[in-house]
Amino acid sequence: MATLACVTGGNGVSDKVTLKRSLSLPATSFYGIGTIIGAGIYALIGKVGGEAGVSLPYAFLLAGIIAGFTALSYAELSSRYPQSAGSAAYIFQAWQRRWFAQLVGVLVAITGIVSAATIANGFVGYLELFIQVPEYLAISVLIIVLGLIALWGINESALTVTLITLIEVGGLLFVIFVSREAPAVQEWQQVLAIPDMSAWPGLLVGSFLAFYAFIGFEDMVNIAEEVKNPRRTLPRAILIAIVVSTLLYMLVAAIAVRTVATDELAQSGAPLAALVSNAGYSTAFIGVISMFAVVNGALVQIIMASRLLYGMAKKGMAPELFSRINARTQTPVAATVLVAGCILVFSLWLPLTVLAKITAFIMLVIFSVVNLSLVVVKLRREQNDANIIRYPLWCPVTGFVMCVALIGFQLLV
């Protein structure tokens, strides 16, 4: 491993070592899709089905709509301020309060860590389809390997994410294809029927949990300093990732409740494998793909949280140590090692559903503040750059209201 090169100099190495700006629109879009699609659909769809019942597809649709409005806010803010500090930078730009930005930055980093821990737990469920390994050992090896990939370099990490994203999308298409032959437990009319009032409490609880499946688009803004033409590329990539993920989620969810009883889905540690098995196919293929998908999400969270710490350190919001970039790999080594270590602790400490609910709750709070920060920035009207992508004011207002409503409902039930 090459020695660390501090961006502030002082050790004989140039103080201009920076992140490598090399990601195109396709690479950034695949990065985003890979961030979103993962444990949310491969590991949690059964838990969401246990709450939402036959309304499972609508739980994902509602979660996708809520995420979509917030995604528009992130898209515009990333165009205005293409910086690695992401949410923390946006909060600072809106209110000029360093402590507030630091708090949000720490919360985002925590959610990335907890989210990756959630994903690592989901990995174990699919690994057990093939081999019985102590949970602590499987999780530890997984996190160490992913940490090393993240340290390797952003091009290598992005290529890994892209390849695995193609594999996991292929896995979802495989599930959709084979499930056409599965015996139905629900008719399409029941699956696609608009939920009545009695179904809404379960649907809302399910959508809160399903919201976790969409967390990831906000991670994309933390690689802003590694994206080509970020003012135009990032907003487009964010929206592409949200739309593709929502469509895939709804289709898989509809097939799931049509072919497998929701109580069976809820009890399965590998729900998509249950769909394939119910169709009369071996679970080996989808089991392997599911492990890839789960791994992909964890890798992206490691990259996101380490880049966030790097961006905050550059702005003096985190210890200077995290702003140091390795001269050879051009990656923030100290930040990456810290993030991987914290993920390992959380993944061995808390169960899957608890981790997912913690992540979703904190992210809804952060999304509420980010939506509100865009409202403040837009009302200020201080940026006239023609390259900035802008959306109507009602978009962040709607995103804010939806996030607060979902938080309130979860606190009341």
The model's pLDDT over 349-387, given as tens digits with 9 standing for 90+, comes to: 766 667 667 777 888 899 999 999 999 999 886 666 667
3-state secondary structure of 366: helix
pTM reported for the whole predicted model = 0.74
Mean pLDDT, range 101-112, rounded to an integer: 82
Q: Give the confidence band of 12 by pLDDT, cuts at 50, 70, 90.
A: very low
Which DSSP helix (H) or strand (E) runs through 364?
helix 352-380
Query: Is the torsion defined by CA of 74, 80, 81, 84 positive or negative?
Result: positive
What's domain 22-412's architecture?
A: Up-down Bundle (1.20)
CA–CA separation, 333 and 269 (whole Å): 34
Which phi-psi region, left, alpha or beta, contains residue 300 (left: φ > 0; alpha: ψ -120 to 50)? alpha
pLDDT average, residue stretch 170-199: 81
pLDDT band at 18 (very low <50, low <70, confident <90, very high): low
* Residues 21, 26, 30: CA angle, nearest 5 degrees: 100
Mean pLDDT across 205-221: 81
Res 40: pLDDT = 63
Mean pLDDT of the chain: 80
SS3 133: coil
Nearest-angstrom CA–CA distance, 61 and 251: 10
Buried b (16+ CB within 10 A) or exposed e, 370-392: bbbbbbebbeeeeeeeeeebebe
Residue 382 is predicted with a pLDDT of: 65
Q: What residues pair up with 5 in beta bridges, in sequence order? A: 325
Predicted confidence (pLDDT) per residue in 108-145, tens digit: 788 878 877 877 777 777 787 788 888 888 888 888 88
- Are 314 and 118 spatial neighbours (Cβ–Cβ below 8 Å)? no
Are 31 and 223 within 8 A, CB to CB? yes
pLDDT, tens digit, for every residue of 41-72? 766 788 888 888 888 999 999 989 988 999 99
Domain residue spans of the chain = 22-412
> What is the distance between the alpha carbons of residues 246 and 31, in angstroms, rounded to a whole number?
16
Close Cβ partners of 163 (under 8 Å, ≥ 6 residues apart): none
CA distances 163 to 43, 52, 159, 293, Å, are 20, 32, 6, 10
Q: Is the pLDDT confidence value at 14 over 60?
A: no
| Complete DSSP assignment for 156-190 | HHHHHHHHHHHHHHHHHHHHHHHGGGSPPSS-HHH
Q: Convert the pLDDT of each residue in 322-331 to its tens digit.
A: 888 877 777 7
Alpha-carbon span 400 to 180, nearest angstrom: 39
Residue labelled with tokens 């492990």: 291
Looking at residue 69, what is its pLDDT?
93
pLDDT for 177 equals 87
